């Protein structure tokens, strides 16, 4: 099947820089055993939230894959869909994660209802305060460190920014971007309720072990015991 062009309006210079980015990203971001295996291993290791983030597949393919992931998460992990409220509705996921330029939170809430989880990406305390006022259930704050996984993530805002956001709002703060086992201490110590680690987990040789090790570090810092 022909590869779908995710952005038909892109210019040729955008295409060239996207190609460089993708080449670099693909060399770094390789899910070694595939998405479903990675989700299964992470959830078995104790991961409590899974977000389906897919930018290129057709809606039908996304729904099929999301339905499989939902089965793996069922009763064990919260399952959120990135960007796509329609896909979230189609598979009856637990909610969505949306960005600053997506549908307003209030509109997403009208569509999804009070019981679904809605998270919003924020980059600073002002956006976090707005997100909370609009009815977001949590904020995804990032990018904390530099990352190759998201092309437009910008420079890392640093772990100290987590403290500012944590102090400004009551809803959960989920830190994202360039987080690995070496720097995740600073993320939790600065007040993140939880963290996202994409490349650190899916590019590892053993997704289950890597997830467990993250969880153990987080629990040790929060004083909530080990995953074993």
SS3 47: coil
The answer to whether the annotation marks 198 as part of a ligand binding site is yes
Tell whether residue 161 is a contact of ligand TZP (CB under 6 A). no
Show the site string, 109-148: x = touches ligand TZP by CB under 6 A, - = not: ---------------------------------xx---x-
* Distance from C-alpha of 147 to C-alpha of 153, rounded to nearest angstrom: 7
Show the site string, 69-108: x = touches Mg ion by CB under 5 A, - = not: --------------x---------------x---------
* Distance from C-alpha of 130 to C-alpha of 134, rounded to nearest angstrom: 6
- Nearest-approach distance from CB 101 to Mg ion, in angstroms: 8
Among ligand TZP, Mg ion, none, partner that 39 touches (CB below 5 to 8 angstroms by kind): none
Tell whether residue 204 is a contact of ligand TZP (CB under 6 A). no
* Distance from C-alpha of 93 to C-alpha of 14, rounded to nearest angstrom: 33
**Complete DSSP assignment for 76-142:** TSEEEEES-HHHHHHHT-SEEEE-TTSS-HHHHHHHH-TTSEEEEEESSHHHHHHHHHHT-SEEEEE
Tell whether residue 70 is a contact of ligand TZP (CB under 6 A). no
Q: Which of 11, 29, 57, 61 is nearest to 149 (CA)?
A: 29
The answer to whether the annotation marks 64 as part of a ligand binding site is no
Member of 197, 207, 217, 218 binding ligand TZP (CB under 6 A): 197
Among Mg ion, ligand TZP, none, partner that 204 touches (CB below 5 to 8 angstroms by kind): none
Among ligand TZP, Mg ion, none, partner that 153 touches (CB below 5 to 8 angstroms by kind): ligand TZP
- Nearest-approach distance from CB 55 to Mg ion, in angstroms: 9
State residue 96 phi and psi, 5-degree precision. Answer: -135, 160
* CB-CB neighbours of 6 under 10 Å: 10
Which residues form the interface with Mg ion (CB under 5 A)? Answer: 83, 99
Which residues form the interface with ligand TZP (CB under 6 A)? Answer: 142-143, 147, 149-150, 153, 176-179, 196-200
């Amino acid at each position: 099947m022909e590869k779908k062009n995710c952005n038909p309006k892109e210019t040729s210079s955008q295409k060239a820089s996207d190609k460089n980015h993708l080449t670099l990203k693909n060399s770094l971001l390789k899910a070694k055993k595939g998405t479903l295996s990675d989700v299964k291993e992470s959830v078995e290791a104790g991961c409590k939230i899974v977000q389906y983030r897919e930018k290129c597949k057709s809606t039908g393919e996304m729904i099929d894959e999301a339905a499989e992931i939902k089965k793996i998460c069922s009763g064990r992990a919260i399952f959120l869909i990135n960007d796509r409220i329609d896909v979230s509705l189609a598979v009856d996921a637990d909610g969505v994660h949306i960005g600053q330029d997506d549908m307003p939170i209030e509109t997403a809430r009208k569509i999804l209802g009070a019981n679904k989880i809605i998270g919003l990406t924020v980059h600073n305390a002002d956006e976090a305060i707005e997100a909370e006022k609009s009815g977001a259930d949590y904020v995804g704050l990032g990018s904390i460190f530099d990352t190759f996984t998201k092309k437009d993530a910008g420079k890392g805002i640093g772990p100290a920014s987590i403290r500012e956001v944590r102090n400004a709002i009551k809803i959960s703060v989920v830190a994202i971007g360039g987080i690995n086992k070496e720097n995740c201490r600073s993320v939790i110590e600065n007040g993140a309720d939880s963290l996202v680690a994409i490349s650190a987990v899916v590019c590892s040789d053993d997704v289950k072990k890597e997830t467990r090790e993250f969880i153990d570090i987080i629990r040790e810092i929060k004083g909530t015991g080990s995953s074993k």
